[in-house]
Structures are given as C-alpha cells and as structure tokens.
C-alpha cells in the first residue's frame, strides 16, 4: 500500500517572518541569546533586528538565511508541522500549536469568537508544555493561551521591561497571585476600570494594587466587586514577550 503524501499548506513570506520572529523570541526568552547578540552574529545593525522583531520591517531571503544560520534552523523548521517527515505509518506529531492573537476586550471570555481573533502565531508545543498553570478559580474549560499586543500605556508603565508593540503570550490558566519563580514577581494582564493593563499585582484587603515597573508612573488600584476575587480580574500571567526586552 502506498502512503499518500500530505500537501503542505501554502506559506507567504509574511508567515515565514512571523514564525522566525517566534523562534527568535523563544531563544531570547530562555536566555540563549539577545537581540544584540543575534544582530552581531548575523552581521546586522542592532536596529535592523529590532525593527524586524517589532514588525516594522521584513527580512530579505539572504537576511533570513543569516538569521537562521545563527539559530541553527532550516526553512522546513518555519513551515507548519504537518507531517514534515513522511514516515511509513504517517505518525509524526505536529510540533507547533497555533495561538490566537485576540482583541484585548475578549481576554476574560472562556472562548474566542471569530470577531475576537485577529491572526494566529505558532509556538512550539514543547515550549508550551513546560509552562506551569495555577488556577485560583476554575478555568479548565477556558482556551488556555492567547496573545495580545502591548500598547503605549502598558509599555510606559512597565518600561524598560516592556516595549510598545510587544506580543504578549498570556497563560489564562494562571490566575493565582502565587509567585511562579522564587523572588520574582509575576507580570499579569489585569482588568482595570473598563479595560485592561499590564502590571505586577498585589492583594491588599478588598483592593488590588497594580504596581508599575517604571517608578515615574503612579500606583493604580482596583476595588474588588462584592462576590468577586482577585482571580476574576486576572486575564492571566504573561509568560513570553515577542520582542527583546
């Protein structure tokens, strides 16, 4: 019996750019390199890489080759993981998971409708599996991961840790105030007023204290509605930023 070779979906250069940004972001997140190191090793100006990671420019084919050489990846690593190795039994698990980029207003919905999703970006399943969840209220039925883009107000409050335009990966199954890493505060996307913001969050009595990184910015506060807990205000923990921070 001859196995049918599946068709690989058509890919645009912009899709390859997004997947390359994701790979670079993962390497930066785990501390394997910085944007500056990548620029130096690939032979670019730092601003060239920064503009690419911030979605302000693309890369030529030659430039992509140089970045991939530094990362030690090939073009096939940027393609959708749809049976890329055609084993006799056809049994290769997809390596990537598509995460929706959503409108901020939808972050406390359990599921996202078509109007909420702006696009999809791919993250390695092996990376996502390493992320530890902790629910202070039941969210097992919620779509776990979502992406949002940081606006100027968020970036100003969390400068220099956060930059405007950064793509934030949010674990919506982490709505506990318990620290994820020892001696390091969690960064949350949290409801504030009629919208959302990004802050370190503390609970003081019946009030959330929203603490910025930038000391020139004021503390913000959010009174808990009767019958609500802090978990109801936390969209989730920020687990990854899509550009150098």
Give the pLDDT confidence of 80-131 residue by residue, as tens digits. 644 444 434 444 446 888 899 999 999 999 998 888 999 988 888 888 988 9
Give yes or no for residue 2 having a pLDDT over 70: no
Q: Note the pLDDT of residue 155.
A: 94
Q: Is the residue at 89 inside a domain? A: no
The answer to whether the CB of 173 falls within 8 A of the CB of 231 is no
- For the ranges 47-51, 59-63, 155-159, 241-245, the lowest mean pLDDT is seen at 241-245
Parent domain of 73: 13-78
pTM: predicted TM-score of the whole model, two decimal places: 0.62
> What is the domain-level CATH number for residue 23?
1.10.260.40
Q: Is the residue at 64 inside a domain? A: yes
- Are residue 53 and residue 162 in the same domain, yes or no? no
- Are residue 110 and residue 219 in the same domain, yes or no? yes
- Are residue 218 and residue 156 in the same domain, yes or no? yes
- Are residue 156 and residue 208 in the same domain, yes or no? yes
- Are residue 103 and residue 70 in the same domain, yes or no? no
Mean pLDDT for all residues in the chain:
84
- Are residue 105 and residue 149 in the same domain, yes or no? yes
| Percent of the chain whose predicted confidence (pLDDT) is above 90 | 47
Q: Is the residue at 5 inside a domain? A: no
- Are residue 49 and residue 147 in the same domain, yes or no? no
Question: 3-state class of 66 per DSSP?
Answer: helix
| Number of domains the chain contains | 2
Q: What is the DSSP code (8-state) at residue 89?
A: T
Q: Is the residue at 86 inside a domain? A: no
d(CA 134, CA 244): 26
- Are residue 54 and residue 168 in the same domain, yes or no? no
- Are residue 161 and residue 66 in the same domain, yes or no? no
- Are residue 109 and residue 27 in the same domain, yes or no? no
In three state form, how does the secondary structure of 192-225 look? ECCEEEEEEEEEECCEEEEECCCCCCCCEEEECC
Q: Is 33 exposed, middle or buried (0-12, 13-18, 19+ CB in 10 A)?
A: middle
Q: Is the residue at 100 inside a domain? A: yes
| Percent of the chain whose predicted confidence (pLDDT) is above 70 | 87
Higher pLDDT, 195 or 77: 195
- Are residue 121 and residue 233 in the same domain, yes or no? yes
> In the structure, what pLDDT confidence band is assigned to residue 19 with cuts at 50, 70 and 90?
confident
């Amino acid at each position: 019996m001859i196995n049918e070779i599946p068709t690989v979906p058509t890919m645009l250069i912009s899709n390859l750019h997004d997947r390359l940004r994701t790979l670079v972001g993962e390497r930066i997140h785990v501390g394997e390199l910085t944007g500056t190191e990548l620029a130096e090793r690939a032979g670019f100006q730092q601003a060239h890489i920064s503009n690419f990671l911030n979605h302000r420019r693309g890369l030529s084919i030659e430039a992509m080759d140089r970045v991939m050489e530094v990362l030690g990846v090939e073009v096939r690593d940027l393609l959708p993981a749809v049976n890329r190795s055609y084993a006799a039994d056809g049994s290769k698990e997809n390596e990537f998971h598509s995460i929706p980029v959503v409108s901020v207003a939808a972050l406390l919905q359990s599921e996202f409708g078509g109007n909420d999703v702006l696009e999809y970006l791919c993250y390695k399943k092996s990376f996502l599996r390493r992320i530890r969840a902790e629910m202070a209220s039941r969210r097992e039925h919620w779509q776990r991961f979502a992406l949002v883009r940081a606006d100027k107000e968020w970036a100003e409050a969390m400068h220099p840790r956060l930059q405007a335009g950064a793509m934030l990966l949010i674990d919506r199954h982490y709505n506990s105030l318990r620290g994820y890493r020892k001696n390091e505060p969690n960064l949350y996307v949290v409801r504030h007023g009629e919208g959302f913001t990004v802050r370190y969050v503390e609970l003081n009595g019946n009030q959330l204290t929203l603490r910025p990184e930038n000391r020139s910015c004021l503390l913000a506060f959010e009174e808990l509605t009767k019958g609500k807990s802090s978990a109801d205000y936390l969209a989730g923990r920020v687990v990854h930023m899509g550009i150098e921070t």
